[in-house]
Amino acid sequence: MKSKRLRAEVVVVGGGVMGTACAWELARQGKSVLVLERSVPGAEASSAAAGILGARVEAHAPGPLAELSQKSRALYPAWVRALTRATGIDPEYRACGVLKVAFGTSELAELARGVAWQKPQPRTLSPRDLSKREPALSPRLRGGLAFDDDARVDPRVLFRALHIAAARSGVVFRSGAYVRRVVTRDERAVGVALDDGSTVEAEHVIVAAGSWTSLVEGLGIAPGAVLPARGQIVELETPGPLLTSVVFGPRAYLVPRDDGRVLVGSTMEFVGYRREVTAAAVRDLLSAAIELVPALADANLQKTWSSFRPYTKDELPLIGPTSIPRLLLASGHHRNGILLAPITAAIVGALVRGKRSPVPVAAFTPARVRG
């Protein structure tokens, strides 16, 4: 059988939020883009995420990741508006703020110590402030911090909008296309080879294969440079919204949706690519959720799921050129890939067009995991 050959200016491996955001950006800049997805677009982590845009609540130290996160969150309102304009879909972006709460005074002091470096400082909330802002929270809470600039979005709806917007801008998606390796000629990337024997030629290759990135051959990165970090989530349903803000408790976080659903997350497990939802995780998440919001005891347990965060050992993403000319990575975004999608797309979009990145990217260089 004669093997098929396709061509595109840019080929993107992986149709999650990262691959699709980069593809949309490049198509809007006039590039012809083909996204190769082994399953269906959005099948993996990007649809499993809770949707916290936690640039401040998730920042544990000053540095390049904290800065990148804040820049990406700042892009969100305009990015979502552009998606809604292109598709008519509202991805439920809400500038709702995130509360981090504690049941004991020593835990509260620890929370304050953890953010001492942040500027501006998150607001300190008394038990009274907490119950005024979120009356459903447990009266046993001793207080908390308010990260007022942080936000939330519904990742599944966001992805649907992104997928449609990208397709309308001319991006071609091929589902069921498993990329085995990057093809090089004269030491530069010139395309990819699929496991059905076909090849796609391209001027630029972007690998955005999430937790499976290290399994794509020919990237010049160390085996295990990106590892799967499993997270489990429980979705509860209440007749009306109990919360508006995202709430981080000591053992779980709660992410409300406008229609009364509440997502309870999450675990962080290194168990390879095992997709189970475990009894112990569901028990622990439910007990933590009910401790935070006692009325959740009566909620309908709607769904559970698990998926894999693309984890890197230094917990920094891999964004930008590799040691192989014309091959870029957009991967390893771990806990914050939904948050970091707009800035990653802006960086990749600029670099592919030979322009300077809009933000410094040295800290995220794939060179640090060269294999």
Ligand X SMILES: Cc1cc2nc3c(=O)[nH]c(=O)nc-3n(C[C@H](O)[C@H](O)[C@H](O)COP(=O)(O)OP(=O)(O)OC[C@H]3O[C@@H](n4cnc5c(N)ncnc54)[C@H](O)[C@@H]3O)c2cc1C
- Interface with ligand X by CB under 6 A: which range of 47-55, 73-81, 183-191, 268-276? 47-55
φ, ψ for residue 20 (rounded to 5)? Answer: -75, -40
- Interface with ligand X by CB under 6 A: which range of 110-118, 203-211, 275-283, 284-292? 203-211
> Rule CB under 6 A: is residue 160 a binding residue for ligand X?
no
Find the binder of ligand X among 145, 338, 345, 346 (CB under 6 A).
338
Q: In what order do the strands lie in the sheet with 246-248?
A: 123-125, 143-147, 98-102, 246-248, 253-256, 261-265, 227-237, 300-311
Which one, 238 or 266, has the nearer CB to ligand X? 266
- Contact status, residue 56 vs residue 118, Cβ threshold 8 Å: yes
> Rule CB under 6 A: is residue 317 a binding residue for ligand X?
no
CA distance 163 to 166: 5
Find the binder of ligand X among 125, 205, 225, 233 (CB under 6 A).
233
> Rule CB under 6 A: is residue 206 a binding residue for ligand X?
no
**Nearest C-alpha neighbor of 333 from the set 12, 72, 26, 117:** 72
> Rule CB under 6 A: is residue 18 a binding residue for ligand X?
yes
Which one, 215 or 362, has the nearer CB to ligand X? 215
Which one, 93 or 308, has the nearer CB to ligand X? 308
> Rule CB under 6 A: is residue 11 a binding residue for ligand X?
no
Residues 49-108 that bind ligand X (CB under 6 A): 49-52
- Interface with ligand X by CB under 6 A: which range of 123-131, 182-190, 205-213, 360-368? 205-213
Find the binder of ligand X among 44, 134, 150, 154 (CB under 6 A).
44
Residue 256 preceded by cis peptide, ω within 30: no
CA distance 224 to 230: 15
Residue 4: how many other CB atoms lie within 10 Å: 11
Residue 257: how many other CB atoms lie within 10 Å: 18
Helix (H, G, I), strand (E, B) or coil at 352: helix
Find the binder of ligand X among 191, 231, 249, 320 (CB under 6 A).
231
Find the binder of ligand X among 160, 204, 257, 309 (CB under 6 A).
309
φ, ψ for residue 180 (rounded to 5)? Answer: -90, -45
Torsion sign, CA atoms 60, 63, 69, 75: positive
Which one, 191 or 265, has the nearer CB to ligand X? 265
Which residues make up the interface to ligand X (CB under 6 A)? 13-19, 36-39, 43-46, 48-52, 177-179, 208-212, 216, 231, 233, 265-266, 307-310, 331, 333-339
